[in-house]
Amino acid sequence: MPEPDAALPPRSSSYSPLSDRLAQQRRSEKLLLLVVRLLFLVMLLTVTTLTIGSRVDEADPKAFSYSTISAILISTLAVGIIVLAVDSLTPNKRLASTVGIYLGICVGLLGALAVAKLIDVVAQAWQLTSAAAPNPYIELAKVVVGIVLCYLAVSFVLTTKDDFRLVIPYVEFAKQVRGVRPLLLDTSVLIDGRIEAMVQSGFIDAPVVIPGFVIEELQTLSDSGDRLKRSRGRRGLDVASRLQMNPAVDVSIDHFEVPAHSVDRMLVEVSRLHQMRILTTDYNLVKVAKISGATALNVNDLASGLKTVVLPGETIRVEIVRPGENEGQGVGYMPDGTMIVVDQGAAYIGSAVDVTVTNSLQTSAGRMIFARVDLLARTDGEESAERRGGSDSAGDSDAGGASITAAARLATQQPRYTERPPRGQPPRGHSPRR
C-alpha cells in the first residue's frame, strides 16, 4: 500500500516570484556599487601616499613632517568622501547632463585662459605688475573670473541642451533614434495577457521594457483586499514572469525616476524622454500620450482591425438575447462577441432571426453593428409552424403555404376592438338570433 503524500519529500522548485528576483537584482547592484566606491577611496589614498613618499626622498625631510602628511591624507580622504556624497545624492544620472557639464567646464576654462591673457596685457600696460613680483590681487582675479566663467558655461549648456542651436546657419540638433524603438508595457496590457500570443507569433520583434513602477503597481494590486483586484495583479505578474522566460523576445525591467505621481503620467514621460512606444489597452492613456507628444499603441485597435468586416446590406442570422436601450431595439451578439443592435428586434427576443446590416461603428473600445429585421425572413417558430402545416396538407404548393402563414399572421396581429356600442344597439359582430 503506498504511503500518504505527507511522507513524500518536498519537491524542489527553481521558480521564484518576480518580486524576489527584482529585490535580488537590486541587492547585487548595490553591492557592486559599494565595492567600486571602496576601491576608489583605496586608490585615492594609495596614490597620495606613494606620491608623498617619493617626494620625501628627494626634498628636505623636514619639509614633510608627520602633521603635514596627516593633513594631506585627511584632505585627500575628505575630497573622496565629498565626491562619493555627490555621487550618492544623484543616483539617476543622464549621459546628456554629464556631457553637458564636461563641455561647459571646457568652454569655461578656455574663456578663463583668454580673459587671463587680457588681464595680463592690461596690467602690464598700466604697470600694475611685473615679472619679478606678480600682483597677488591680479592672480586672485584670474582665478575668480575662471570659476565664474566655468559656472556660467555649465549653467548655459545644461539649460539649453535640449534646444541647442547653431547661430549660423540656424541648424537645430535633433535626437535621432536608430533601429526599432522599444515597446514600453503598461499595467493593463500585462493584465490583458494577449501580449504573450503576439510575442509567440513573432509579430513583436522590438525590445520590450517593463518599468519598475508598473511592477510595483501590479504588486500593490496583488496585495489588495479586493478579490478581483488581487487576481488581476497576480495575472499581470505571471504574464511578466513568463515574458522574461520567453526566448522569442528581449524583455528587460528598468527603473526610471521621473517627476510624476500617477503611473500613466510616468509612462508618458518615460516614452517622451527615451523615445519608446507605449503598448496598452487603455483608451484614455492613448489620448493623453497623443496630446503629450508620445507614441502609444492600443492592442484593442489591432484586435478590432483583425476582426471580420461586415458590409452594409449583408444579411446575417443572429439570436436576439435582450432588449436595447431605445424602444423597440433588440441586442444580439456574433460568435466573436461583436454586439449587434437590431431595429424593431424587441419582438424577437429569445429567437434567431435574419437581419440586414445597415451600418457598423468601429471604435477603440470595440465594434458595434446596426441592423434591421428582414421582413421577408421567418423566425424559427414560424418555419416550424409552416413545416407542420405542410405535413397536414402535403398536396399544397409552397406558395399556398406561404399565403396561409401570412394570413394567419395578419389574423393574430390585428388589434382587438374594445369600444362599447351606444345604448340600445347590439354589439358589433353580435347575432340577434343568439
- Of the chain, the percentage scoring pLDDT greater than 90 comes to 11
Band (pLDDT 50/70/90 cuts) for residue 280 is: very high
Mean of pLDDT values over 288-300: 90
Q: Buried b vs exposed e over 298-336: b needs ≥16 C-beta within 10 Å?
A: bbbeebbeeeeebeeeeeeebebeeebeeeebbbbeeee
Q: Has residue 233 been placed in a domain?
A: yes
Same domain, 223 and 240: yes
Domain final residue, candidates 270, 305, 340: 305
> Does residue 161 fall inside a structural domain?
yes
CATH number at residue 347: 2.40.50
More confident residue, 159 or 228: 228
Q: Is 17 part of any domain?
A: no
C-alpha pair distances (Å), 89 with each of 84, 92, 102, 125: 9, 9, 19, 48
Average pLDDT over residues 359-386: 67
The predicted pLDDT at position 177 comes to: 52
Q: Is the pLDDT of residue 71 over 50?
A: yes
pLDDT tens, residue by residue, 88-118: 777 666 666 777 788 888 888 898 888 888 8
With cut-offs at 50, 70 and 90, classify the pLDDT of residue 130.
low
The reply to whether 340 and 237 lie within a common domain is no
* 53 and 135 co-located in one domain: no
Report the pLDDT value the prediction gives residue 402, as an integer from 0 to 100: 47
User: Within this chain, do residues 52 and 161 fall inside the same structural domain, yes or no?
Assistant: no
Q: Could you tell me the pTM of the whole model? A: 0.42
Indicate whether 297 and 374 sit together in one domain: no
- What is the pLDDT confidence band of residue 237, given thresholds at 50, 70 and 90? very high
- Which tens digits make up the pLDDT trace of 137-171? 788 888 888 888 888 888 887 777 655 544 434 44
Please report, for residues 5, 189, 200, 217, the alpha-carbon distance to residue 183 in angstroms, rounded to integers and kept in the order given. Answer: 46, 11, 16, 18
At 296, which CATH number? Answer: 3.40.50.1010
Q: How far, in Å, CA of 207 to CA of 135, rounded?
A: 63
Same-domain status, 100 and 85 = no
Predicted confidence at residue 58, as pLDDT, reads 55
Last residue of a domain, one of 353, 380, 407: 380
224 domain-assigned: yes
Cis check: omega of the bond before 9, within 30 degrees of 0: no
| Mean pLDDT in residue range 36-59 | 76
Are 87 and 100 found together in one domain? no
Phi, psi values for residue 369, rounded to 5°: -115, 135
Is 117 or 433 the better-scoring residue by pLDDT?
117
Which of 242, 124, 250, 238 shows the shortest CA–CA distance to 191? Answer: 238
Higher pLDDT, 123 or 220: 220
Report whether pLDDT(1) > 60.
no
Residue 412 located in a structural domain: no
Taking the C-alpha atoms of residue 252 and residue 258, their distance in angstroms, rounded to an integer, is: 18
pLDDT at 307: 67
Per-residue pLDDT at 347 exceeds 50:
yes
- pLDDT the model gives residue 184: 92
For residues 301 and 191, membership in a common domain is answered with yes
The answer to whether residues 254 and 295 belong to one domain is: yes
- Do residues 203 and 262 share a domain? yes
Do residues 324 and 300 share a domain?
no
Q: Which 8-state DSSP code applies to residue 278?
A: E
Residue 379 pLDDT greater than 50, yes or no: no
User: pLDDT tens-digit profile of 253-276?
Assistant: 888 877 767 888 999 988 888 888
pLDDT above 50: residue 36:
yes
Query: Across the strands, what pairs with 317?
Result: 354
Q: What is the mean pLDDT of residues 78-90?
A: 82
Verify that 127 and 59 share a domain, yes or no: no
Is 398 contained in some domain?
A: no
Instruction: Write the DSSP string, 139-201.
Output: HHHHHHHHHHHHHHHHHHHHHHSTT-B-TTT-PBP-----SPPPEEE-HHHHHH-HHHHHHHH
| Per-residue pLDDT, 279 | 92
Residue 256 domain-assigned (yes or no):
yes
Cβ distance 261 to 235 under 8 Å?
Answer: no
Percent of the chain topping pLDDT 70: 69
Q: What is the pLDDT of residues 171-189, one digit of tens each?
A: 444 445 556 788 999 999 9
Looking up cell 565626491, which residue turns up? 83
pLDDT at position 81 is 87
Alpha-carbon dihedral sign for residues 63, 68, 69, 75: negative
Number of domains in the chain: 4
What is the domain range of residue 116?
95-174
Q: How confident is the model at residue 12 (pLDDT cuts 50, 70, 90)?
A: very low
> How many residues does this entry show for the chain?
434
Average per-residue pLDDT for the chain: 75
Average pLDDT of the segment spanning 12-26: 58
> Of 91, 118, 136, which residue sits at a domain end?
91
Q: What pLDDT is recorded for position 364?
A: 61
**401: in domain:** no
Reported as half-sphere exposure (CB side, CA atoms, 13 A), residue 167 has a value of 0
Give residue 55's pLDDT.
Answer: 64
Q: Output the nine-digit C-alpha cell for 332.
A: 444580439
CA distance 270 to 256: 7
> 352-363 and 366-373: which strand pairing?
antiparallel
